[in-house]
Homo-oligomer: A and B are copies of this chain.
Amino acid sequence: MLEKTRFTKQKQVIMGILRQADSPLTPSEIYEQARAQQPSIAKSTVYRNLESMQERGEVVRGILENGESFFAAAGEHAHRHYMICKDCNKMQDLPECPVEKLEKEIAEAGDFLVTDHVVQIYGYCRDCAKKHRPLDT
């Protein structure tokens, strides 16, 4: 049973940040941005809100290779299929989900009850690739 929630300023700020983001954000990034609007906000408040929002399905949570988590507002980049730049960590949405078919096969095989999946393609975005090795070799 969901307990009743209060629309606190902090929660509004966090949701606002996530909704305006053009890419998922880490708790630290959210915290930094939130402090601009609400200087007294505590990091733990950010974490607690992200957790409860996730339980409510208002945001989606994922995890980066370095162990940091990231969050996106539901309906935005909420499908957890990304291209992630190893350099700047910016995440772009994948144009399609390549797993659905496979998921169906697994369900039919009956040895595993699928609830969810994650697809993350790593590499370098155009900008960061330029800095290192050119995209066009």
Does A21 have its Cβ within 8 Å of any Cβ on chain B? no
Using known A-B contacts A102-B98, A106-B83, determine if residue A115 contacts B111 with beta carbons closer than 8 Å. Answer: no
Residue A58 is within 8 A (CB to CB) of chain B in the complex = no
Q: Measured between C-beta atoms, what is the minimum distance from A59 to chain B in Å? A: 15
Q: Are B116 and A118 neighbours in the complex by a CB distance under 8 Å?
A: no
Check A129 for interface membership: any CB of B closer than 8 A. Answer: yes
Tell me which residues from 69 to 122 in chain A have a Cβ below 8 Å from any Cβ of chain B: 69, 83, 85-86, 92, 94-96, 98-99, 101-103, 105-106, 110-122
Instruction: Indicate if the CB atoms of A118 and B115 lie closer than 8 Å.
Output: no
Q: Count of chain A residues with Cβ under 8 Å from any Cβ of B?
A: 41
A31 within 8 A of B: no
Closest residue to A129 on the B side, CB-wise?
B113
A123 contacts across to B, CB distance below 8 A = 112-116
A135 within 8 A of B: yes
**Top-7 shortest CB links A-B:** A114-B123, A116-B122, A117-B121, A98-B98, A115-B123, A113-B124, A67-B67
By a beta-carbon cutoff of 8 Å, the part of chain A in contact with chain B is 63-65, 67-69, 83, 85-86, 92, 94-96, 98-99, 101-103, 105-106, 110-126, 129, 133, 135-136
Given A83-B112, A118-B120, A119-B119, 8 additional A-B pairs, CB 8 A: A102-B121, A112-B124, A113-B129, A113-B135, A114-B121, A115-B122, A115-B123, A116-B122
